[in-house]
Each structure stands twice: as C-alpha cells, then as structure tokens.
Amino acid sequence: MVRFYIIWLQQEDENKLKKKLFSNFNGRHLFAALIILSTIILSISLVMIANVRREKRVAETTIRAQEAAASIELTLDSAMEASRTLMNFYTTYGDECMKDLGVIGSAIAENHPYIDSMYLAPKAVIAAAWPEEVAPSTVGFEMLKDPMQGPRAQLAIDTGRVTVAGPHNLVEGSSGFIIRNPLFEGDEFIGFTIIVLNWDSFTDEIRENLTDISKDYYIAVRKKEADATAITDDFGYIISNCDRQVDNTVEYEFEVPNDKWIISAEPVKGWRVFVEMIPHILLALLFDAIVITTIMLGYSVLDRSRKLRFETENNRIKTVYMSQLKEALDKAERAEKAKTEFLSRMSHDIRTPLNGIIGLLEISDKHPDDRALVDSNRKKIRLAANHLLDLISDVLTLSKMDADTVRLAHEPFNLKSIAEDVLTLSNMRAAEYGVTIKKAEGTAKLGDVYAYGSPLHLRQIFLNILSNAIKYNKPGGTVECKSELLERTEYKIVYRFTIRDTGIGMSPEFVEHLFEPFTQEHTDARSTYQGTGLGMAIVKKLVDRMGGTIEVQSTPDVGSTFMVTLPFDLASKEDMPEEKNEVYEDLRGLHLLVVEDNDLNLEIAEAILTDLGATITAARDGREAVDIFKTATPGTFDAILMDLMMPVLDGYGATREIRSLTHMEAATIPIIAMTANAFEEDARKCREAGMNDHVTKPIEVPKLLKALSIVHRRG
C-alpha cells in the first residue's frame, strides 16, 4: 500500500496535484488538510510498520517451530532405528536367535538415553521383553484385545507401517510412547518389534532441546486429533516448555508415523508490535506531512534493506541447518553400518562355538556307550563353552567401557604378586603351545613395590597381551617380559612394561587398526587362533582409563613388541588388607540357604553344593528367602547364597531386609551373591546392599569354596 502511494506521487504532476488537493482552501483549511494528511500518512505508516514487524516475527517464530519439529523427529528416528535393528536381526535369524536378541535388546535398553524397554511380539502377543525386569508383567499380553492398544496395533498391521502411540500409562506400570514396527513374511503378518520410550526421559530430552532451540519462545506440542487415552497436561499438550496456555500463536504441523502433531509457538514477550512503535509515533507527530512523507520514503528503503538482510540470514540458517541434517544423516548411516558389521561378526563368533557344542552333544547322544568318545566330547564342549563365555564377557566389558560405566578400583596391591600371578597363568598356557616365557635382562625388581590401582584390570591388560603373544607365536618361540622404573616421586611411580614375542607379527597397515573391536589381520584368524578380536580393544581402553599409554612395534614373520606405560599412586605394606582364611576343600557340615528363581540354575547349584557335602534349603525368590530366614531358629543356616535378578523381591532388596531384621544372626550371617552380573560395579553394589562377597555364574567350584571360607564350621 505504501509503495503504491509513493509510485502514485512520483507519477503525478506536482502542479496538478497541488491544484487538486488545495484549491479553494485558506490557510486554516490548508493546515487542517496537512494535519489530516499527516494523520492518514501516519496511520498508513503505522499499519505497514506493524505488518512488516509482525511478518518478521511470524517468520522467525515459524523457523523456531520448524527447528523444534526437526529435533522431535530426530529423537523419534533414533528410537525407531533401534526398532529396525531388532526387526532386521529377528527377520534374518528367526526364533533361533532369541538369546542373541536378548543380549542385544538388553544392551540397547540399558544404554539408550530414553528407551525404557523393548519387546518382541509374534502374532501381536508379547513373547519376550528386555530388560528382563519388565518380562513378568508383559509377557503374554495380547495387544489386539486391549481396548487402548488394539486399534493402533491393528492400524500398523493394516498399513504395514511403523506406528507411534501415546504417551500412555503402560501395562508394566510406567508411562511412555509405544513404537510398533510390524514384521511381515511376504504378505503375512508375523508380529511386532516394539520400543517403549520412557515418558519422563523423552519429554525431558525434548524440553531441553526446545529450550536450546527457542529460549525466547513458548513452544508446545499437541496431537492434531485428540486422543482420550493419551497423557497430556492441563492444556492438552503432550510436550511443552512452559506451564501456561500458548495462544495467539504460529502453528506448524508435521507428521510422525500414523499421526500428525502440531507445534504452537509464541514469543515469550508477546508480539508487542505497537508498544515498540511508541517512539516512532511521538516522532512522527512532531513533523508535518512533508517530513512524514520523507520518513515513509526512507522507511521503504530501510524496509527493503531489512527484508534483504532477513532473507540473507534466513538462507544462512537454512544452509547451516541442512548441513547439520546431512552430518546427522551421515553419522546415522555410519552407525548403521557399524551395527550391521557388529551383528554379523557377533553372529559368526557366537554361532561357531554353539555349533560345536550342539554337534558334539548330538554325537554323544548317538554313541552313549562309547565312554572315551563321550569324555573327549565333554572336554571339547567345555572348551567351546568357555570360549563363548569369554566372548560374551568381552562384549559386555567393551560395551560398558564405551558407555563409561566401568569403575576402576583404587585399592592397594603388590606389583610383584600381580606379575607372578600373570606369569604363572601365562606359563601354563605357553607350555600347551610349546612357547617359552622368559624375563629380559635389566628387568626392575618389584618385590617391595606397593601401589594403589585396580589389580583385576591390571591382570586383564597383561593376560590379554601375553595370551596374544603366545597364541600368535611359532612352535619353539619365545616371549620376553621386561619391567622398567621410569619415574618415582614421594607419591607417584611410573613403570614401563615391555612384552616382546617371536610370533607371526603384523603388517604396518593392520597395526593402525589393532585396537578396533573385532579386528584380526587374517580373515580366518578367529577360527585358526580361537580369538574374539576384542582383547586389544579392551586393553587400549583400560590403559587409557588408567592414565597410561600403549605402543606397538611389529614386523611380519619376525614378531611384535608391546610397551605399556602406567602411573600408580604409591602405597605401603601397611595399607595391604589382611590375608583371607584358608580355602575349604569341601563344604561338609554346612547348611546353606540357596535363593534362586531359575529351576535349571537351582538344580545345578544343588548338585554342586551337595557333592561338596553341604545341606541345602531352596528359596525361589527374595521374599521367600526373607520369610524362611526370619522364622528359622538361630544356627539353622551357616550362609546364604543369593541370586540378584528375581521376581517379587530381588537379591539386593532381600539382603537389605534380612540385615534389618531383629533376628539374632541378621547382621552376621554371611550372604554371598551368586549371579551372572559379573562386573566390578556389580560386586560393589552387592557390598553396598550388605552382602559379604560376590561369585559369578557359571559357578566355578574353587571360587565358590574361596568365598565360603569366611563361614565358620559349627562344632
């Protein structure tokens, strides 16, 4: 409108315009006319300024709404990526991969910031759930018969597309979004993979993103079509960065699977267009019509300049945003490729020993009377099972270290004792391979060196390196070990440990990738040398966590040299803990309360303990264990062996309740965790709950006897 008025003024003849506007007017009329004209021009100017400012505010607010929508979509895509991982694994390997799928599902659920749980639902009936804590409340749940979940589940089947439902109050007692990914074999529906996003974690993540994106804007998200079963706040929003009704807003609609959401955005300070224009109004009233016209001409130029700057800035933001989207896409593709390679290697490395175990069992079943063959097969099965256990332990260790959840101990130990333990174990292994381990000249004496650190992980570092030096050596080869004191102060000590072998060596190209997971130079190395390809990755992460360094030099067909430099806090002999009691050779005379919910594990434990001479009383969960102990007369039980993951009441809760009882032996009876939770932080949690020790499954008799050595036999 202003531009049209200016063009019209430029095209009219000035004399004709004066005659047309001011003919028959006296001075007062002219003044009045000028005032009226000034008012009209001022009104037009104010309206145009208000419109331009509002358009700019609307454009800026729309951009913030689009950024918020993109953030939500990326958050949902991350969760759906996890669902696709489960779906691809299950459709590839079927029901035979349930154990593998359980490990993967539990790992994803534990490490993903806002995934609460994951499910597999063949024929829309939940058959498996991860983590295992949610299984009792969900397994067997038929989604199509549920009035809340049935329609959404049927929609996913009918459309063959991923659906997002919620947030709902869930069967397992929590609340969150449900992402269903339908699985089909041809045109036949075979089931769902399901992801449950924890409502609190998901909304906290989105609110934090909304705050980062739009500190100066109120932003709220609602469903386009109301869902009576969904959880919303008092204003009908599923997500909001404020606690008020967002009105007078810019709205932006975007799609999520099977649904449409609307983002409402409003500046925190309101639109306030006219309030901000008061100085302009006062200034305009001081000038006559000519000055106002001049200002309008100037503003027109300024407006074009501002719009140009706005368009330039808008294009810059779009360019940056598209660059970020491309970077996120590339990162997601790299992550997907890494996950695919990981699953492929895991599948191979897990199935290889399983194939051997199953095959040897079938051979033994067909020849039950051939005792020599059956005994030989049993030894091979034990080797394959131990290899599989090592693989699972290494994968879980690496996963926890990547998630930065592994805690290194800080306890006193004797360096010489650690070195002797490592060499004793390695010498036995070396003898099997025909390899000799020897100390190099100039090796530092470690007899009087006491330090603080994590002896368990220190052993693991050197056992992994020595294991490779032995395994990849040549018959009759040697492994040379050397320790050097590099630095010693009043409180610190630094050692360099060198391990040199005469083995097959490595190429320079492979050395660059040595510390990457599943890395082995030859494609048949895992089969030929029985390795997992994870040992050196774990070594590197442990050395880094200890503040040390590791260097590698290698020549093909000549050998490899590993140099590990580690700093330690100095300790003294007085800091060392007292030696434990002598380990029992059997358990004759002991009465033990065994708490275990798994029938097979309970049968194995009873058989092992009974063979060792103990008397057993069994409890199937933590609550039953507490009740049995509470009603038992003092002296009934010598110790309690406690599983951790159980229904009704877990091992941690049961231990705390037992310790709080008024029973005469509640505070003193030894309670030993007997669990598959095998990490140092698991042992720490057991001690914090009141347990005396921690024994891992599969049960190893020497370790069990050592743990039970704290129990005093009764007269």
Q: Is the pLDDT of residue 564 over 90?
A: yes
**pLDDT digits 0-9 by tens, 398-414:** 666 665 656 777 889 88
**What's the whole-number average pLDDT of the chain?**
77
Q: Is the pLDDT of residue 92 over 80?
A: no
Report the pLDDT value the prediction gives residue 678, as an integer from 0 to 100.
Answer: 63
Q: Is the pLDDT of residue 525 over 50?
A: no
Sheet architecture: strand order including 188-198: 128-130, 115-122, 188-198, 175-185, 163-169
Q: Which residue has the higher pLDDT, 513 or 154?
A: 154
Q: Is the pLDDT of residue 137 over 60?
A: yes
**pLDDT digits 0-9 by tens, 343-385:** 666 666 677 677 778 877 888 888 888 888 888 888 878 777 7
pLDDT interval class at 502 (50, 70, 90): very high
- Kindly provide the residue ranges of all beta strands, DSSP E only, lying in 170-279, ordered along the sequence: 175-185, 188-198, 217-223, 239-240, 250-256, 259-267
d(CA 104, CA 85): 9
Report the pLDDT value the prediction gives residue 288, as an integer from 0 to 100.
Answer: 55
**pLDDT digits 0-9 by tens, 211-248:** 665 567 777 888 887 776 777 777 777 777 777 777 76
d(CA 299, CA 181): 56
Q: How many CB atoms lie within 10 A of CB 656?
A: 16
Report the pLDDT value the prediction gives residue 330, as an integer from 0 to 100.
Answer: 78
Q: Which residue has the higher pLDDT, 474 or 524?
A: 474
Distances (CA, A) of 88 to 181, 335, 339, 429, 549: 11, 15, 11, 40, 39
Greatest mean pLDDT among 174-188, 308-322, 549-563 lies in 549-563
Report the pLDDT value the prediction gives residue 400, as an integer from 0 to 100.
Answer: 62
**pLDDT digits 0-9 by tens, 168-183:** 777 666 778 888 888 8
pLDDT interval class at 276 (50, 70, 90): low
Taking residues 419-429, report their average pLDDT: 84
Taking residues 478-495, report their average pLDDT: 90
Question: CB–CB of 293/41 below 8 Å?
Answer: yes
pLDDT interval class at 456 (50, 70, 90): confident
Percent of the chain's residues with pLDDT above 70: 74
Report the pLDDT value the prediction gives residue 642, as an integer from 0 to 100.
Answer: 93
Taking residues 418-434, report their average pLDDT: 85
Q: How many CB atoms lie within 10 A of CB 626?
A: 21
Report the pLDDT value the prediction gives residue 622, as an integer from 0 to 100.
Answer: 93
Q: Is the pLDDT of residue 133 over 80?
A: no
What is the crossing angle of helices 535-545 and 371-402, to 10°?
Answer: 40
pLDDT interval class at 715 (50, 70, 90): very low
Distances (CA, A) of 402 to 203, 335, 406, 409, 517: 25, 14, 9, 18, 11
Q: Is the pLDDT of residue 527 over 70?
A: no
Report the pLDDT value the prediction gives residue 16, as an integer from 0 to 100.
Answer: 46
Which of 209-223, 292-306, 627-641 is predicted least confidently?
292-306
**pLDDT digits 0-9 by tens, 59-91:** 777 787 787 778 777 777 777 777 777 777 777
Taking residues 492-497, report their average pLDDT: 92
Q: Is the pLDDT of residue 522 over 70?
A: no
Residues in the chain: 715
Report the pLDDT value the prediction gives residue 683, as an integer from 0 to 100.
Answer: 81
Which of 41-45, 186-190, 454-458, 578-582 is predicted least confidently?
578-582
Helix (H) or strand (E) holding 15: helix 14-22
Report the pLDDT value the prediction gives residue 74, as an integer from 0 to 100.
Answer: 79
pLDDT interval class at 5 (50, 70, 90): very low
Taking residues 281-291, report their average pLDDT: 60
Question: CB–CB of 128/102 below 8 Å?
Answer: yes
Percent of the chain's residues with pLDDT above 90: 16
pLDDT interval class at 144 (50, 70, 90): confident
And the tokens for 191? 């089931």
Report the pLDDT value the prediction gives residue 627, as an integer from 0 to 100.
Answer: 94
Question: CB–CB of 266/216 below 8 Å?
Answer: no
Q: Is the pLDDT of residue 26 over 70?
A: no
Phi and psi, residue 458, nearest 5°: -65, -45
Greatest mean pLDDT among 198-202, 270-274, 571-575 lies in 571-575
pLDDT interval class at 390 (50, 70, 90): low
And the tokens for 714? 């009764």
Report the pLDDT value the prediction gives residue 61, as an integer from 0 to 100.
Answer: 74
And the tokens for 683? 């042992």
Q: Which residue has the higher pLDDT, 4 or 200?
A: 200
**43-54 b/e (C-beta count within 10 Å ≥ 16 → b):** eebbebbeebbe
The type of residue at 108 is I
Report the pLDDT value the prediction gives residue 17, as an integer from 0 to 100.
Answer: 41
Report the pLDDT value the prediction gives residue 6, as an integer from 0 to 100.
Answer: 37
